[in-house]
Amino acid sequence: MSLEIKVPTVGESISEVTIGQWFKQDGDYVEMDEVICELESDKATFELTAEASGVLQTKAGEGDTLEIGAVICVIDTEASGDGAAPKASQEASSEEKSSGDSGASSEAKATGEVKEMVVPTVGESITEVSLATWLKEDGDYVELDEIIAEVDSDKATFELPAEASGILRHVAQEGDTIEIGGLICKIEVTSGGAPAEASSGSEAPQAEAPASSGSETYATGHASPAAAKILQEKGIDPAQVKGTGKDGRITKEDALQAKVEAQKPAAQAAPKKESAQPAAQESAAPKASSGLSRDSKREKMSSLRRTVSRRLVAVKNETAMLTTFNEVNMGPIMDIRKKYKEQFKEKHGVNLGFMSFFTKAVCVALQEWPAVNAQIDGNEMVFHDFCDISIAVSAPKGLVVPVIRNAESMSFDEIEKEVVRLATRARDNKLTIEEMTGGTFTITNGGIFGSMMSTPIINAPQSAILGMHNIVERAVVENGQVVVRPMMYLALSYDHRIIDGRESVSFLVRVKQLLEDPTRLLFGV
């Protein structure tokens, strides 16, 4: 029987994914729950597991973009001959290894039972963990409740105990990110004894034998998801990195050390190249003498950047986007921050920034002008009675937009703490899908990079976005007098299909009014 595996639903607003890499090749035999490929969306990376045991038939290649629900591969569960051979060889090698491991204890016998260990629930809000360290190697004998691995969440590190006594078989690699309930390892249960000496004394040489003999598997040269992200950020080709993980797989530690190792061969090869090609040296002489470089670098766009690019173009083409501007005297807010910032930090443990003032002002204005907080869904307009404010953050992989939930009900210190938390998780690449979906309005601050004025693009499916800019002292007229004030330009880009000019201008004027007289935020006037 052939089982079709389709692209699963991975998030509320995600309609398609890209195949990052196949861990199993077409025609390979796969076990149930074994990771077969890596999928990338514009927000996160996911691992796809086999839903049955059998021979894999891929239907899409690496780099292909598939819609949610599309067939990505087929597993022939009744395959025999070549398809069943890998399974038979794996079972035979497992039995040989188990018998070898238990050679020092004749009482230890395999029961035939395989205990599958999954990632346990470690906290109410934790949806995934990262496998930090294996404390037991693949093929080691483990006792019941013996600590075999350490897993990291965004909040703490946990120890994983063995759920049975037997031979450990790794499924996940160090650095892999696994969802709660995902398969992390298997234990081939044994009874009658504990072959500790055999597993500890003879396992290490046996584990090194395949690497020294030069045998390769699908894992050889492949990077784990965590390692792949690090190598991509460094701009290093995985082919230049030697993997030290199981079967030569590139681990997170390999990726962290890859930069130095990848540069050494280049530095050593440079003199040889120059001496071997004197003609090329002569032709390059003008370039060297002038000191000018005309080198170019070609780099493949990440899945995140490709998706962001596609969505930005779609927003420009599919919305009636306009931008209205205003300016704000930031003097009153700066005076308040200067007067109370030390007391605020001492009491709440967080700095008093501009973002809390803007978020509070935006929430008040959104409740007064609900169309700015709405969105279009087909032929209907959806109005929200809550304010989920998206905050644009520049992360290592690109621009991400985490969401502050129910910001209208939060205090200044609660907003500042949430901004710091989300920004930290974004820069550490630890944001979850839930933390980046469902916003109703976006605030982006280009002023931190020195932007004076811009026209921000709407964050679909939202209908408006507020752009903050840098603060510059300018001459303005107040009561017939020319005075110098710290001024900021504000830009509101909005979808004219749902927001009229009166609403957009009135919204921005209300935000300006609240920021220039912050005491209004305290009294709600």
Tell me which residues are annotated as active site: 496, 500
Q: What is the largest CA-CA distance in the chain?
A: 100
Rounded to whole angstroms, the Cα distance separating 76 from 98 reads: 29
- Grouping H, G, I as helix, E, B as strand and the rest as coil, residue 56 is strand
Asked whether 119 and 129 are in contact (CB, 8 A), the reply is yes
Structure tokens at 290: 């002038």
Nearest to 444 by CA among 464, 424, 427, 428: 464
Structure tokens at 123: 């906290």
Asked whether 139 and 195 are in contact (CB, 8 A), the reply is no
Nearest to 256 by CA among 220, 229, 279: 229
Dihedral (C-alpha) 468, 471, 475, 477: value to the nearest 10 degrees? 50
* One-letter amino acid of 237: D
Rounded to whole angstroms, the Cα distance separating 380 from 386 reads: 18
Nearest to 30 by CA among 251, 207, 183, 189: 183
Strand order in the sheet with 16-22: 45-49, 35-40, 16-22, 65-67
Rounded to whole angstroms, the Cα distance separating 194 from 168 reads: 13
Nearest to 43 by CA among 321, 318, 438, 404: 438
Report, in angstroms and rounded to the nearest whole number, the Rg of the chain calculated over CA atoms. 29
Structure tokens at 443: 């605030």
Asked whether 162 and 146 are in contact (CB, 8 A), the reply is yes
Rounded to whole angstroms, the Cα distance separating 306 from 302 reads: 6
Asked whether 166 and 189 are in contact (CB, 8 A), the reply is yes
Angle of CA points 425, 428, 159, to nearest 5°: 90
Asked whether 65 and 5 are in contact (CB, 8 A), the reply is no
Q: Tell me, what DSSP letter sits at residue 32? A: T
Structure tokens at 227: 């390692």
Asked whether 326 and 436 are in contact (CB, 8 A), the reply is no
Q: Residue 68's beta-bridge partner residues?
A: none
Q: Is the dihedral of CA 245, 249, 254, 256 positive or negative?
A: negative
Q: How many CB atoms lie within 10 A of CB 130?
A: 20
Phi/psi at 435 (nearest 5 deg)? -75, -10
- Name the residue with tokens 């916003």: 439
Cis peptide before 461 (omega within 30 of 0): yes
